[in-house]
Structure 1
């Protein structure tokens, strides 16, 4: 069986994904970001087209359930831009939802994830290609544990990878202890996001040694203080033999985020200087092809 990514237009063989923005958002809405939503179809089309014009092949949207994914728009955006798009199921931190929404899914969370991965999201027929969950600041609260247990069950039933929002890049080892230790998820199926927000090279090394995938994403105003450490962090991991664990993303969360074209226009040349073209191609092409195909 040929491994394939589950895109919004159907399955795509892993070796045809091209250059991958491994963590981004075309659409996202949250009560924590009032008035700063990504909800404009024209803007999403422009960002996706800009990414494609710079050689981008695939964008993985980490926007989970209940946060304005606009799934019905994604197939047309993908088709018109020529860029593959992967959509997510999953659940973010509790603060991003109303109590009513959380109550409505609490007793069926694993089934919700499995259904969106195997049958489609709502009545769109679009299947999700990953499960997005979230940790807390330096730990896991009750909501995070509950959500990760549902994600692990859905992973075991489908094989889909689990992408984890790490709050300010923290809680890495707690996440791995729960998902990979107690719940038996293979580390190679776990993607740890936002590691650039906490440039703790020792923790990065421990996560890589455990076999997890490490996603470095941004830049943004909120995390600008640590953005400049990303090349050093990536070089340290590559020099230690963990280049095959690394992923890159633009993580466009608000309209003022530089976003996915910036990833290729400005971040890619900077990282070529730090890592060399061969390692950077591995990070942008080979690694996400392995991680997102199931």
Structure 2
């Protein structure tokens, strides 16, 4: 059954795009990876405290990009959302192969798209929580066989359900290759594709070419000192906005390790609103920044669900 109007699929049910309000368009409440031993996001109390801190800073919605097999703890998300009053959108999908045991990936051969579709429409495991988008990942300046497999499955899931597709760009690279595969070969409408981590590879030519396709451009992880984030991101966002692409921009925090949470002494989710928002407002003016934080996420994560 096709929904009559676009809706954002949250862990508490579908809502209108305008209800998402001020949104961290890329973050993590829970995350576990073999590449980050000892740094996992597994504490439900800390996740709740982080959401409460984000809410106190003016936040109202968070898109959790943690995909299948990486400890997203979907069953815990509804209660966290209810307790804090923050809308949470949960991902299905698959990250790079390096994050998984090979046996787990082998078990998904031949049924990956089916699994994505099931989590989007029926729910994740026994939790009953439906995912609201598909998260996949590219490689460094290229798409390997794993990336092509996962993105092709994501495209199939989009065509079956209408779901948006969010893409981790490795160090911000490979944006045009991703668009060639998803929007070219797989015929996914560009406005259903969200490119993440563009701030990590601040090439204005690539940014503009990607924006011209009609996709969404996410600038996330702004507090990472080892990436060209805080000091170059405002210029990149301003250039895109001034070129007429402000309606295609998204902002996120991308908290991936426990020590980065604000409640554990790091910048965390509130940093997006405490520091990034005023910095960008000084470049663009407050109204464009509020639209990027409020209007754009609702449209990016909304779908006419099938």
Under a length normalisation based on structure 1, what TM-score does the superposition of the two structures give?
0.98
8 Å contact kept, 1:116–1:128: yes
Displacement of 1:222 in angstroms is: 6.2
Which of 282, 297, 300 is equivalent to 1:288?
297
Answer yes or no: is 1:198 the counterpart of 2:193: no
1:267-286 to 2 correspondences below 5 Å: 267-286=276-295
Under a length normalisation based on structure 2, what TM-score does the superposition of the two structures give?
0.94
The residue matched to 1:122 in structure 2 has which SS? coil
Q: Which runs of 5+ in 2 are unaligned?
A: 261-266
Displacement of 1:255 in angstroms is: 2.0
1:154-233 to 2 correspondences below 5 Å: 154-221=157-224, 223-233=226-236
The equivalent of 2:268 in structure 1 is 259
The equivalent of 1:25 in structure 2 is 28
8 Å contact kept, 1:218–1:227: no
8 Å contact kept, 1:23–1:60: yes
Measured on the aligned residues, the alpha-carbon RMSD in Å equals 1.0
Displacement of 1:11 in angstroms is: 0.7
Q: 1:113 to 1:197 in 2, by over 3 A?
A: same
Deviations along 1:205-256, whole A, 9 cap, x unmatched? 0000011100000134464444310000000000000001100000001123
Q: Take 2:11 and 2:298, find their aligned partners in 1: how far apart are those partners?
A: 16
The equivalent of 1:38 in structure 2 is 41
Q: Which runs of 5+ in 1 are unaligned?
A: none
8 Å contact kept, 2:223–2:229: no
Displacement of 1:3 in angstroms is: 1.7
Using CA pairs under 8 Å that are at least 6 residues apart, name the structure with larger relative contact order, 1 or 2.
Answer: 2
8 Å contact kept, 2:23–2:62: yes
Q: Take 2:180 and 2:255, find their aligned partners in 1: how far apart are those partners?
A: 29
The equivalent of 1:50 in structure 2 is 53
The equivalent of 2:74 in structure 1 is 71
The residue matched to 1:106 in structure 2 has which SS? coil
1:115-130 to 2 correspondences below 5 Å: 115-130=118-133
